């Protein structure tokens, strides 16, 4: 007698199926809005050390899965682990966001790209731990920051309005292309390791796709994303991929046409028509405003219904358009889950 292992709904939908009630998870669902997260976080003074501690990272990855009926867990990690693995110092100062040390030479970073997965093996260990205890009908996602987004931090030494990085792209095109190429290779190695460690889907976070002209978007976003997909396929990684070009506006359609990912995550602004256009060839994910989730009330309920109505007729994964905010009431998360799951 064989036991049938159910395919997680998240993976069926990412494969193109339409679910009566869409699968749901939230970006940054393992985070500060949960008191149990804050309790574990308080045991580790350094944020990077926290991300690279498999026991603690697995625990916070699982916390929202215990508390809520989310369909999908996402490994707790940070998009700035890659610069760290490439020899650029990264640290977080309370209330100030990330800080990065001097940008290493491209040559020195290139020597390290093939060891990015190994250097960040702790993230693989987190994935293995989570996968071993997560119910079989719930999926586990791995992720990485996309090259341009990671490069903006590496070039500017921290958070910024990205104008320094965009100026660098105009004034030092060869240097920037070399940096992006290094990041593509490191990301392929890092995500391949995650695929081998229990991840069932992989997501690329291009958090800063906004404000780029079409030629820059082609060069800084579409090119590197295509190269990563190709690199993963060349390495034999067959997992479904989700791309999130946040802030790309009308260029999301170009992205969906040119980058062979299975899912496209949409940001808060994405209009109904854009989602429907992308949905013709891709699963879409998104796009509830985190500010509305935090605000709650009738406006939240109406918007959830509207999203389900406008996109639920095709392959659709319910999510936010950006990460959940630290001061979001847990009751609002529960209310949205009840509405989306119909339970």
Q: Is 66 a catalytic residue?
A: no
Of 32, 67, 235, 294, the active-site residue reads: 32
Residues found near its own copies in the complex (CB under 8 A): 163, 166-167, 170-171, 173, 210-217, 247-254, 267-274, 287, 289, 291-292, 294-295, 297, 299-300, 303, 306, 321
Q: Is 28 a catalytic residue?
A: yes
Residue 294: burial class (beta carbons within 10 Å; 0-12, 13-18, 19+) = middle
Instruction: Indicate the length of the chain as a whole number.
Output: 343
Instruction: Read off the tokens for 234.
Output: 């060349």
Q: Which is nearer to its own copies, 40 or 266 (CB)?
A: 266
Of 78, 185, 189, 289, the active-site residue reads: 78
Residue 4 CA to residue 126 CA, distance in Å, equals 26
The SS3 call for residue 15 is coil
Query: Residue 212 Cβ, how far from its own copies at the closest point, in Å?
Result: 6
Query: Residue 237 Cβ, how far from its own copies at the closest point, in Å?
Result: 31
Q: Is 161 a catalytic residue?
A: no
Query: Residue 168 Cβ, how far from its own copies at the closest point, in Å?
Result: 9
Q: Which is nearer to its own copies, 299 or 330 (CB)?
A: 299
SS3 content of the chain, % helix, strand, coil (to 5): 50, 15, 35
The CA-based dihedral angle spanning residues 125, 49, 232, 319, taken in that order and rounded to the nearest 10 degrees: 90
Residue 136 CA to residue 7 CA, distance in Å, equals 8
Q: Which is nearer to its own copies, 50 or 311 (CB)?
A: 311
| HSE-CB for 191 with a 13 A CA cutoff | 37
Locus of tokens 């105009």: 170
* 290: number of Cβ within 10 Å: 18
Q: Is 32 a catalytic residue?
A: yes
Query: Residue 222 Cβ, how far from its own copies at the closest point, in Å?
Result: 12
* Full DSSP string of 64-84: HHHHS--SEEE----TTHHHH
Query: Residue 2 Cβ, how far from its own copies at the closest point, in Å?
Result: 46
Q: Which is nearer to its own copies, 141 or 212 (CB)?
A: 212
E-strand stretches of the chain: 72-74, 90-93, 97-100, 139-145, 201-206, 241-245, 263-265, 283-288, 316-320
Q: Which is nearer to its own copies, 11 or 288 (CB)?
A: 288
Query: Residue 328 Cβ, how far from its own copies at the closest point, in Å?
Result: 12
Residue 311 CA to residue 330 CA, distance in Å, equals 25
* 35: number of Cβ within 10 Å: 9
Q: Which is nearer to its own copies, 105 or 213 (CB)?
A: 213
Of 153, 168, 190, 316, the active-site residue reads: 153
Q: Is 38 a catalytic residue?
A: no
Enumerate the active-site residues. Answer: 28, 32, 41, 78, 153
């Amino acid at each position: 007698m064989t036991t049938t292992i159910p395919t997680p709904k998240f993976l069926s939908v990412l494969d193109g199926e339409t679910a009566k009630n869409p699968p749901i998870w939230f970006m940054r669902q393992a985070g500060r809005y949960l008191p149990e997260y804050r309790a574990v976080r308080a045991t580790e003074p350094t944020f990077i050390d926290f991300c690279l501690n498999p026991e603690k990272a697995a625990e916070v990855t699982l916390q929202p899965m215990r508390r809520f009926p989310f369909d999908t867990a996402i490994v707790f990690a940070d998009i700035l682990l890659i610069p760290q693995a490439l020899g650029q110092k990264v640290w977080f100062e309370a209330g100030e966001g990330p800080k990065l040390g001097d940008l290493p030479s491209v040559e020195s970073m290139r020597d390290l790209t093939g060891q990015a997965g190994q250097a960040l093996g702790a993230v693989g260990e987190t994935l293995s731990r989570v996968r071993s205890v997560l119910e079989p009908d719930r999926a586990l996602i791995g992720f990485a920051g996309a090259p341009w987004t990671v490069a903006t931090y590496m070039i500017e030494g921290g958070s910024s309005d990205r104008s320094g990085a965009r100026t660098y792209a105009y004034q030092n095109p060869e240097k920037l292309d070399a940096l992006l190429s290094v990041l593509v290779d490191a990301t392929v190695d890092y995500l391949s390791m995650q695929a081998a460690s229990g991840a069932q889907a992989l997501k690329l976070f291009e958090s800063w796709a906004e404000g780029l002209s079409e030629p820059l978007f082609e060069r800084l976003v579409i090119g590197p994303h295509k190269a990563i997909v190709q690199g993963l396929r060349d390495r034999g990684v067959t997992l479904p991929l989700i791309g999130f070009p946040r802030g790309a506006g009308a260029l999301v359609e170009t992205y969906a046409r040119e980058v062979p990912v299975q899912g496209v995550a949409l940001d808060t602004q994405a209009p109904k028509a854009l989602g429907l256009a992308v949905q013709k060839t891709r699963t879409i994910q998104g796009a509830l405003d985190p500010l509305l989730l935090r605000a709650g009330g009738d406006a939240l309920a109406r918007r959830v219904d509207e999203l389900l109505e406008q996109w639920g007729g095709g392959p659709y994964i319910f999510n936010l358009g950006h990460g959940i905010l630290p001061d979001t009431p847990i009751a609002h998360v529960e209310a949205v889950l009840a509405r989306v799951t119909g339970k």
